[in-house]
Structures are given as structure tokens and as C-alpha cells.
Amino acid sequence: MITVKSKSELEKMRTAGIIAGDALHFGGQSIKVGMSTYELDKIIHDYIVKHGAIPSFLGYGGFPASACISINNKVIHGIPSKKEIIKDGDIVSIDVGAFIGGYHGDTAYTFAVGNVSEDAKQLLKVTNESLYKGIEKAVPGNRIGDISHAVEEYCVSYGYGVVKNYVGHGVGSKLHESPEVPNFGKAGHGPRLLAGMTIAIEPMINAVGEDVKVLPDGWTVLTKSGSLSAHFEHTIAITPDGPVILTKPTIV
């Protein structure tokens, strides 16, 4: 069932969204070469808790950390580890959820660490831009497929692979609600967008090929080709005045 939120619910979701967005970017600003992804997760965890929220991902389906941290050829759901050290030239995708006042915010960003390649820079730029191509279509009267198609068309125009095995989703009192929000599809198809719907749009884009595989840990998703992958996500509200980004950070 697709839920439509009231104005007061949207205000609560903005509160959750700010904590998620600020925790994400506080984490991004804290990245240092030589740091482990375990340390980075701890910084993000502490930020969320300090601001009175609960990390949405911690324990979700058994996930053992507060942030998913996925470096280079990892697409999503990377498990932070003391053994995984961030290096100069890495691209680090961080996905964060915060729960407060009965609602979740869910957001992701891929950070460039130090001297990254030109290819990596372009992948990050295009994937981030594709998120906004999708957000532009998130208006009442459009359909989910309009968002999906806009993301896909933009990324495919650069020759990138759009991950199809994982998709965006509704967000609200549950972290994952209906509808699914794929990063591929036909314009004019899928559920109709109504004012008050809240969805996470989250392009997961591979430099080469759309195929992915999952590590034996049951979580970490990698590109099958071994290429880099980027992930950007916002939770947005569909309103009569246009899309509102609920996870827009206030600290950057």
C-alpha cells in the first residue's frame, strides 16, 4: 500500500531527513586517508545518536552497522570493517538512515577521496545529476516510470550501467514502503504520483555494465565487471509546489 503523508507527518520526516543528511555529510567531511570504514561508521553512528535519532540500518534485516559504506567497485550494502582502510583516490559511497519521531530519512552520497581519476569524477557527477533528473519528475500527476526513465536515459547516454537488481522505494514510518522506484523503466508507466507521497530515489550506477554480484557475507553488492560504481540518494516529498528534498543537509 502506498501511504500519503499529512503536512505534520512531512514535518516529522524533514526532522528525520535533516539528521540523516547531516550525519551523511558529517561522515563525508570526516573521511581521512588511512581511516577504516569501521571508524567512519562509528562517527556517523555517534552523530545520529547525539541528535536523538536511531540509526535506521543498525540491525535492519540483521545489518551489523549504522551506515552502509561501499568503496570503489562495491555498489551498495558494504559492511564497515576495521580491516578496510580508505586510500587516496577511492570513491566512498555512504548510505545513512535516521529514525526519529516515528519516521525515517534515507540518503546516500559518494565521496571522492583525494586524487581520484577523471573517469571516477565523471561517474560521480553524472550519477548525482541523474538523481536530480529523477527528482524533477517527482510531481503530482506524473508516474513512477517518469522518474525511472529520466534517471536511466541520462546515465545510459554516458554509456554507464544502471543497476536493476536494487531499486529505490517509499519511505515513511517504515524504512522501505511501497512503491518501488526503479532507476530504469518506461515514462508514463507505474503508480501515479500523489501529493504527500514520500519516496527515496537512489541511482546505483556502474561505470561498466549493469550486472552485480553479492559477496558471501550476504550483504556487499559488487559490480560484476569490477568497475567503479556510484550511489546517490535523497528522500523526497511530492507536493503541489513540486518535489521537496527531505534529506537535504544543513551543514554543507
Q: Where do contacts with Mg ion occur on this chain (CB under 5 A)?
A: 106, 200
Minimum separation from the CB atom of position 119 to Mg ion (A): 26
C-alpha cell at 138: 517527482
Measured in degrees and rounded to the nearest 5, phi and psi for residue 137 equal: -85, -5
Cell of 33: 586517508
Query: Which CB atom, from 116 or from 168, has the smaller least distance to Mg ion?
Result: 168
Residue nearer to Mg ion on the CB measure, 79 or 200: 200
Q: In the 8-state DSSP scheme, what is residue 192?
A: B
| Grid cell locating 31 | 573521511
- Spatial CB neighbours of 183, under 8 Å, sequence gap ≥ 6: 130, 134, 148, 151, 152, 155, 162, 163, 164, 167, 168, 202, 203, 204, 205
- For the CB of residue 94, give the shortest distance to Mg ion in the complex, in Å: 12
Grouping H, G, I as helix, E, B as strand and the rest as coil, residue 149 is: helix
**Smallest separation (angstroms) from Mg ion to the CB of 106:** 4
Q: Which is nearer to Mg ion, 116 or 138 (CB)?
A: 138
Least CB distance to Mg ion at residue 38 (A) = 22
Q: Could you tell me the smallest distance in angstroms from the CB atom of residue 108 to Mg ion?
A: 7
Our CB check for Mg ion shows the closer of 111 and 116 to be 111
Cβ(55)–Cβ(48) below 8 Å: yes
Closest to Mg ion by CB, 116 vs 235, is 235
